[in-house]
Amino acid sequence: MAQTLQTSDIDLLIGGYGSLQGSHGRGIELCTAHITDDGVASLHHQRLLSDVPSPSWLERYRVGGTVDMVYAVLENSRGLAALRIDDDHDSCRLTLVSHVAVPGDGPTHVAVATDDQGNAHAITANYVSGSISVFPINTDGSLGDVSQTLPGDPDEGHGPLPAQEGPHAHWILPLPDGRVLSTDLGADRIYVHRWMNGELVRTGMVRLAPGTGPRDMHLLPVASESNHFDEWRVAVVNEWGRTVTVLDANDLRILQTIDLDAEPADQAASLAFIPSANGYEGMAYVGLRGSDRIVALAWDGRTLTRRESVSSGEGRPRHLCAIGRYLIAANETQDHLTMFHSDKTGHLTVVEDLPIGSPTVILPLQ
Q: Output the tens digit of pLDDT for each of the chain's 366 residues.
A: 334 445 689 999 999 999 988 999 999 999 999 998 777 899 999 999 999 999 999 999 999 989 999 999 999 899 999 999 998 767 899 999 999 999 989 999 999 999 999 999 999 999 999 999 999 999 999 999 999 999 998 777 788 999 999 999 999 999 999 999 999 999 999 999 999 999 999 999 999 999 999 999 999 999 876 555 458 999 999 999 999 999 999 999 999 999 999 999 999 999 999 999 988 899 999 999 999 999 999 999 999 999 999 999 999 999 999 999 999 999 999 999 999 999 999 999 999 999 999 999 999 998
| Alpha-carbon dihedral angle through residues 61, 238, 209, 189, given to the nearest 10 degrees | -20
> What is the rounded average pLDDT for all residues in the chain?
94
User: How many whole angstroms separate alpha carbon 115 and alpha carbon 72?
Assistant: 21
Ramachandran region of residue 66, left (φ > 0), alpha (ψ -120 to 50) or beta? alpha
Superfamily of domain 61-211: YVTN repeat-like/Quinoprotein amine dehydrogenase (2.130.10.10)
Distant-in-sequence, close-in-space partners of 149: CB < 8 Å, separation ≥ 6: 103, 104, 131, 132, 133, 134
Can you give the residue ranges of every domain in the chain? 61-211, 215-366
Please count the CA atoms within 13 angstroms of the CA of 183 that sit on its side-chain side: 29
Domain pair 61-211 / 215-366, same fold: yes
- Do residues 232 and 222 make contact, with C-beta atoms less than 8 angstroms apart? yes
The CATH number for 215-366, chosen from 3.30.1490.100, 3.40.50.10320, 2.130.10.10, 1.10.10.10, is: 2.130.10.10
Give the gyration radius of the chain's Cα atoms: 20
